[in-house]
A and B are shown apart, each in its own frame.
Chain A
Amino acid sequence: MTNYHPSIEMLTDYAAGSLPLAHSLCVSTHLEHCHECQQQIRKLEMLGSHLFDQTPVEERQLSSLKDSFFDTLMKQPKVETHVKQSHIEKNTPHWDEYKIPSSLRQFITKSYDDLTWMRLSPSFKIATLYNEDGGAQIALTRVKAGAHMPTHTHTGDEITLVLEGAFSDESGVYRQGDFINRDASHKHKPIVTKDAECICLTVLDAPIEFTGWFTRLLNPIIRRYHPHSHA
């Protein structure tokens, strides 16, 4: 049961297909844990279908389009319809492994351990999943049980989604599936709960800035790994 959800605006943009892909990735991962938001998406898609159905159509001859469509259709190779599904089923995790959300399987084929993790402190690691060209940085952070994450502010929006474990900050405790959206004005100091390590999906519109006196030294490193800084 998750307690922190995407805003209704974000869910609407997601259902409509207007939300940027990096943000949609977070919403999609949240939905895998949240029945309540799934229901809302179902209704938002119904709304979309009514608007879609009511769009005024222009009078236009479509017979040549239709001919060329049926030509293409006849030429397409026989489709293997069950490929993706069986691929997913084969990846059912062993009992002691973390389950990778389906939304992330395009980046993580086997396990979190196989990613290239960059150690930023003895208890804090980061693995970049994808840097969008001129867009967001999508990464996983992995913090040891009971450890502090370095104090940081954001230079842009940050979405954090808890994949495993839990952490807390001044405003609350966040558990698996929780969706946390912070803007540039936030300065926070998260602590991971003592019982287990914490893995989060993070999407940054711009690199985070560490504000602690020591961790400030990390800023050039973080910036180097963010697509915006190559400009």
Chain B
Amino acid sequence: MERATQLQSDEQRIDDMFAIAEHRDQAALARLFDHYVPKVRAFCLAKQPGANLMADDIAQEVMIRIWNKAHTYKQESASLNTWVFTLARNARIDYLRKNSRHQSNIDPEYLWQNVVDENADPFKDAQQKKDQERIQQGLDKLPADQKQVLAKVYLEGKTHKEAAEELSLPLGTIKSRVRLALHKLTIYVKR
């Protein structure tokens, strides 16, 4: 039942995206704001606890990007959640780059633009959904220690090395936890 309502609201949000892209619907944007802003803020606070101003700035930036880029969103290449996650990730990188002690002139805008898979594939949508399901279900079953490391890397924005230092564990242990997790989620296949 809960899953069904979630799917329904996912669809509602996709409709909102189209409403923004096609007729600049502000009410649709307001609904997306209510859903995503708390998540983006939490994502930023995970990286820098207590930095509420930063979280507000980045959340607003993400919403502006949603508004400006809604027409570029393609449902067949990524779910809306994935798309918004990449916007939040990039906005956070950009914010930190401009506001850190060591400013970098490397523009992140150029570094994540081409990851979109352009190959036309009629089964892509189905494959996409299957991967999505597998990852979500797998994630729920992961042992706590593996999930903890993934959260450090993804949400707190730590590298493997930093995660190792913070948890006072050898780098090898961190690496193998991540590999095990990715293996279970069928993301990592040994070449």
| A interface list, Cβ under 8 A from B | 5, 8-9, 12-13, 16-22, 24-25, 28, 31-32, 35-36, 38-58, 60, 62, 65-66, 68-70, 72-73, 76, 79, 81, 84, 102-106, 130, 132-135, 138
A-side contacts of B78, CB under 8 Å: 42, 45
A-side contacts of B84, CB under 8 Å: 49, 52
A-side contacts of B178, CB under 8 Å: 8-9, 12
What's the Cα separation between A84 and B153 when bound, in Å? 30
Beyond A52-B43, A103-B110, 18 additional pairs, beta carbon < 8 A: A12-B160, A17-B90, A17-B157, A20-B159, A28-B110, A39-B117, A44-B182, A45-B115, A49-B81, A49-B86, A50-B139, A52-B84, A52-B155, A53-B85, A58-B38, A81-B72, A106-B106, A132-B105
What's the Cα separation between A5 and B89 when bound, in Å? 23
A-side contacts of B64, CB under 8 Å: 72-73, 76
What's the Cα separation between A40 and B191 when bound, in Å? 12
Contact A43 B39, CB 8 Å, known A25-B106, A48-B89: no
A129 to B, closest residue via Cβ: B106
**B68 at the A interface (CB under 8 A):** yes
In the assembled complex, the CB of A78 is this many whole angstroms from the nearest CB of chain B, namely 10
A60, B38: Cβ atoms closer than 8 Å: yes
In the assembled complex, the CB of A208 is this many whole angstroms from the nearest CB of chain B, namely 21
A133 to B, closest residue via Cβ: B102
- Contact residues of B between 91 and 110, Cβ < 8 Å to A: 92-93, 97, 102-110
B-side contacts of A84, CB under 8 Å: 109
In the assembled complex, the CB of A48 is this many whole angstroms from the nearest CB of chain B, namely 5
What's the Cα separation between A20 and B86 when bound, in Å? 16
Candidate in A12, A22, A28, A133 with the most chain B CB atoms within 10 angstroms: A12
Candidate in A8, A17, A40 with the most chain B CB atoms within 10 angstroms: A17
Total interface residues on B, CB under 8 Å, equals 76
**B26 at the A interface (CB under 8 A):** yes
What's the Cα separation between A22 and B108 when bound, in Å? 10
A-side contacts of B97, CB under 8 Å: 21
A38, B104: Cβ atoms closer than 8 Å: no
Contact of A81 among B29, B68, B81, B182 (CB under 8 A): B68
In the assembled complex, the CB of A137 is this many whole angstroms from the nearest CB of chain B, namely 12
B88, A52: Cβ atoms closer than 8 Å: yes
Candidate in B37, B42, B85, B162 with the most chain A CB atoms within 10 angstroms: B85
Contact of B131 among A28, A46, A73 (CB under 8 A): A46
Number of CB contacts from chain A to chain B under 8 A: 191
**B7 at the A interface (CB under 8 A):** no
A48, B132: Cβ atoms closer than 8 Å: no
| B interface list, Cβ under 8 A from A | 26, 29-30, 33-34, 37-39, 41-43, 45-46, 56, 59-60, 63-64, 67-69, 71-72, 78-79, 81-82, 84-86, 88-90, 92-93, 97, 102-115, 117, 119, 131-132, 135-136, 139, 150-151, 153-155, 157-160, 162, 175, 178-179, 182, 185-188, 191
Chain A contact residues: over half helix, strand or loop, or mixed? helix
What's the Cα separation between A28 and B102 when bound, in Å? 22
Candidate in A20, A39, A65, A134 with the most chain B CB atoms within 10 angstroms: A65
In the assembled complex, the CB of A10 is this many whole angstroms from the nearest CB of chain B, namely 9
What's the Cα separation between A171 and B90 when bound, in Å? 36
B-side contacts of A22, CB under 8 Å: 104, 106
A19, B159: Cβ atoms closer than 8 Å: yes
A133, B103: Cβ atoms closer than 8 Å: yes
Contact of A8 among B26, B85, B179 (CB under 8 A): B179
Candidate in B34, B109, B111, B112 with the most chain A CB atoms within 10 angstroms: B111
What's the Cα separation between A56 and B72 when bound, in Å? 29
Contact A47 B187, CB 8 Å, known A38-B115, A52-B81, A130-B105: yes
A-side contacts of B106, CB under 8 Å: 21-22, 24-25, 106, 130, 132, 138
